[in-house]
Amino acid sequence: MSQRDTLVHLFAGGCGGTVGAILTCPLEVVKTRLQSSSITFYISSVHLSAVNGASVTRVAAPGPLHCLKLILEKEGPRSLFRGLGPNLVGVAPSRAIYFAAYSTSKERMNRLLEPDSTWVHMVSAGMAGFTAITATNPIWLIKTRLQLDARNRGERRMSALECIRRVYQTDGLRGFYRGMSASYAGISETVIHFVIYESIKRRVLETRAAARMDQDGDTTRDASDFVCMMLAAATSKTCATCIAYPHEVIRTRLREEGTKYRSFLQTVSMVVREEGCKALYRGLTTHLVRQIPNTAIMMATYELAVYLLER
């Protein structure tokens, strides 16, 4: 792939990620709060009777709408955009690195394996995910810390620079890479997503191209092609997210400030033991509501940018 092609995919990936991040930021904040072990927004308690007669309190998390309402009441609308700064700083390079690595890997894998096969898409998505995660994990850690920083109206909010300073003072450079093991586990979601997406995309474009050739011999893409790509992206992301979602909860727990969670497997074990298996899917509804349109917008923007730049 030429240098120009690489730059095209870098720019297109950055544009897609930025547009999606801005439009879906409030849902990202609600999702992160629901995934957290913090009881700041927990509103109901279930008292259980222990064997020795003592009472045990199990705190239950609110639903997405109630969490959204509490954020608006206690912190104000601005809190729904907490972490947007690091998100915008990170999403463009992250998606740019991801899509450039994906397209480069796919180009090389096509020479070694059957072109555009499932294995090509799986390996390419995996390599792209690993590259992007390793390069940008510190940015996402800061974003998560800011989103979890719940302050009442009028209270001074922690800035990104202050957050960076606190992470470094507490854990040193290693602190910026907390949760990376869970992110690596999340590569499985990316792989599943791109395998399904590429399969749907190829079939849709082949069908529509054949129909156009039968009609007037024109193979130029139109707006309906990009709508189809958005639907393909939404479908593939839904399937992948439902399968691999628990890594999202584990990653948020590992990134919490002063957390008792130390490693991926230890966190899984502790969450299941203390809160039950359902806790591994806390915030899934909000995540789907955010991720599906975000992915559809991102992929459609990416495809449109590539198409326009390569004309």
Q: How confident is the model at residue 219 (pLDDT cuts 50, 70, 90)?
A: low
Taking only the tens place, the pLDDT of each residue in 262-272 is 899 999 999 99
Burial of 54 (0-12, 13-18, 19+ CB in 10 A): exposed
In one letter, which amino acid is 2?
S
Q: Which CATH number fits domain 3-310: 3.30.56.10, 1.10.569.10, 2.20.25.160, 1.50.40.10?
A: 1.50.40.10
User: Using CA atoms, how far apart are residues 13 and 96, in angstroms rounded to an integer?
Assistant: 4
| Strand, coil or helix: 305 | helix
Query: By mean pLDDT, which of 44-48, 157-161, 185-189 is the weakest?
Result: 44-48
User: Using CA atoms, how far apart are residues 143 and 46, in angstroms rounded to an integer?
Assistant: 32
Query: What six digits make up the tokens of 26?
Result: 């409030």
pTM value is 0.72
Instruction: Check if the beta carbon of residue 32 is closer than 8 Å to that of residue 252.
Output: yes
In whole numbers, what is the pLDDT of the chain averaged over residues?
A: 81
Taking only the tens place, the pLDDT of each residue in 178-207 is 999 999 998 888 788 878 888 888 888 788
Q: How confident is the model at residue 217 (pLDDT cuts 50, 70, 90)?
A: low
